[in-house]
Structure 1
Amino acid sequence: MCHSAEGLPPAPPEPKEVAGHGPLTLTSADGTAVPAYYALPAGPPRGRMVILPDVRGVHPYYTALAQRFAEAGFATIAVDYYGRTAGAGERDDSFDWQRYLPSVRPGEVEIDVAAALAHLSGHTTSPAYTVGFCFGGSQSWRLAASGLDLAGVIGFYGRPSLVEDVVGSVTKRMLLLVAGDDEVTPRQEFEDFAARLTEAGADHEMRIYESAPHSFFDRSSGEWAQACADAWRRILDFTRPSS
């Protein structure tokens, strides 16, 4: 599982302005009411960002992260996985995600992301991206093979085994941000995954953070501050409009 954290990792200075943020309910294509959280930038958006959380769903960590992305210029929505099973409700540290996670299906994640993108299109039609963490990292990478209108997908320490079946169908740019000492997935699995993406002709970039543990980006320890800052910079570079 991924670890809870008290704060967000440090990052280079950014405009600290958000036009609005708060809970949101999306309606997915199958009629599901999807719990979500939105945050909008104060100025013209540089892009749309859909956050795919770890197994905890829209935990308070991800509501804060949505605001951080908005501060960086993204119209952002974090989507929850459990509307079909747990319904609405708080996804705090007491939420029993283990009960509901086995019921989450990639196809349902995709249509929920589609609903988030459609909602954000009401604010901006700028390029759209997904960023995911742990379980959400895998789901984000999978969307590189989807028909969604995405300029790219980003994943932190996902599980390659959950993406293998779509490697040959990847059409979107991919950014893989990997913990070098991931206790959930051995490093070799990530390296093999990158090799298969290369063989398939997929446009991808992988950065391995030496000695960093699984879920390093959402740990409060300052030990991983440099890795966190580098990962954030890579996200901003990956989503920067080409001139």
Structure 2
Amino acid sequence: MASRESLTLTSADGTAFAAAYAAPEGAPGAGVVVLPDIRGLHPYYVALAERFAEACVAAVAIDWFGRTAGVPDGGARGEDFSWQEHIPQTTADGIDADIVAAMAALRERHGEDLPIVTVGFCFGGSHSWRQSGGDLGLAGCAGFYGRPSLVGDAASRAHLPTVMLIAGADKATPVEDQLALAATMRDAGADVDAPVYDGAPHSFFDRAHGDWSEACRDAWEHVLGLTDRVSRA
């Protein structure tokens, strides 16, 4: 890993928000905008950006809450952050604006031709899948255990390569609902990779890694398969 940095980025609407940047030595073939779970820019996602850099992918992990909670001291949200009052105040437009700002930060450092994908978890997984039907200039999207209701009618416009990492014992969203979303996105024209990890709980990758190491290893390979697929030569 060549560099890592805590950033304060600014969206088009003037909102300042926290982000964590990490990049490999040499020119990365692709970039990732990491969309965290309901906790926002938790230290786990700072470390995940660094893990992407170790895999030769440049990454920016973003916080959700610049508009309502400002920029956190130290650049990340602590365990005591009261996300419950802030998540309902997020909007799709605000999230998209923050993704665009993160994309700009990556391309400023690594070139305008850098292909970028989103990789999200839970709340962030939902909004990552939503990007398959969007027009932000992304090359693809991946999401862990998202909620189809947050994807909405974007599913009927899906066109980007999409990875859906599905927890087989997800109590937050039935597997059948996620597979139905995958089918809708395929019908719209997206190439959707949707592995189901039998028995794995919601948040198996980020909060229960030790108990689900083999599933986590396989899921990571699916994510890197997407970054490899879109990578510039």
1:54/1:76 CA distance change after superposition, 3 Å? same
Structure-1-length-normalised TM-score: 0.89
1:239 to partner: Cα distance: 1.5
1:145 to partner: Cα distance: 1.5
Question: Which residue in the other structure is 1:14 paired with?
Answer: none
Question: Which residue in the other structure is 1:76 paired with?
Answer: 59
Q: How does 1:101-112 map to 2 (within 5 A)?
A: 101-112=87-98
What is the letter of the counterpart of residue 113 of structure 1?
Answer: I
Question: Which residue in the other structure is 1:43 paired with?
Answer: 26
Question: Which residue in the other structure is 1:22 paired with?
Answer: 5
Aligned partner (choices 193, 203, 207) of residue 215 of structure 1: 203
Question: Which residue in the other structure is 1:230 paired with?
Answer: 218
Question: Which residue in the other structure is 1:5 paired with?
Answer: none
1:93 has 2:79 as partner: yes
Question: Which residue in the other structure is 2:50 paired with?
Answer: 67
Give the Cα separation in 1 of the matches to 2:52 and 2:157. Answer: 29
Give the Cα separation in 2 of the matches to 1:181 and 1:83. Answer: 33
Q: How does 1:137-152 map to 2 (within 5 A)?
A: 137-152=125-140
RMSD of the TM alignment (CA)? 1.3
How many residue pairs match? The answer is 226
1:149 to partner: Cα distance: 1.4
1:221 to partner: Cα distance: 4.7
Give the Cα separation in 2 of the matches to 1:191 and 1:49. Answer: 24
Greater fraction of residues in helix:
2
1:74 to partner: Cα distance: 1.3
1:159 has 2:147 as partner: yes
Tell me, what secondary structure is at the counterpart of 1:177?
A: strand
**Unpaired segments ≥5 residues, structure 1:** 1-17
Greater fraction of residues in strand:
1
The CA deviation string for residues 131-156 of structure 1, in whole angstroms up to 9 with x for no partner, is 00000000111111111111100000
Tell me, what secondary structure is at the counterpart of 1:37?
A: strand
Give the Cα separation in 1 of the matches to 2:106 and 2:88. Answer: 28
Give the Cα separation in 2 of the matches to 1:196 and 1:35. Answer: 34
1:221/1:150 CA distance change after superposition, 3 Å? closer
Aligned 8 A contact 2:157 2:185 in 1: no
Q: State, as a whole percentage, how many aligned pairs show the same letter.
A: 49
The CA deviation string for residues 141-189 of structure 1, in whole angstroms up to 9 with x for no partner, is 1111111111100000000111122111112111100000001111111
Higher RCO, 1 vs 2 (CA within 8 Å, ≥6 residues apart): 1
What is the letter of the counterpart of residue 198 of structure 1?
Answer: R
Runs (4+) of structure 1 exceeding 4 A deviation are none
Give the Cα separation in 1 of the matches to 2:10 and 2:108. Answer: 15
**Unpaired segments ≥5 residues, structure 2:** none
What is the letter of the counterpart of residue 157 of structure 2?
Answer: S
1:219 to partner: Cα distance: 2.5
Give the Cα separation in 2 of the matches to 1:134 and 1:222. Answer: 19
Aligned 8 A contact 1:130 1:152 in 2: yes
Give the Cα separation in 2 of the matches to 1:127 and 1:88. Answer: 28
1:237 to partner: Cα distance: 1.3
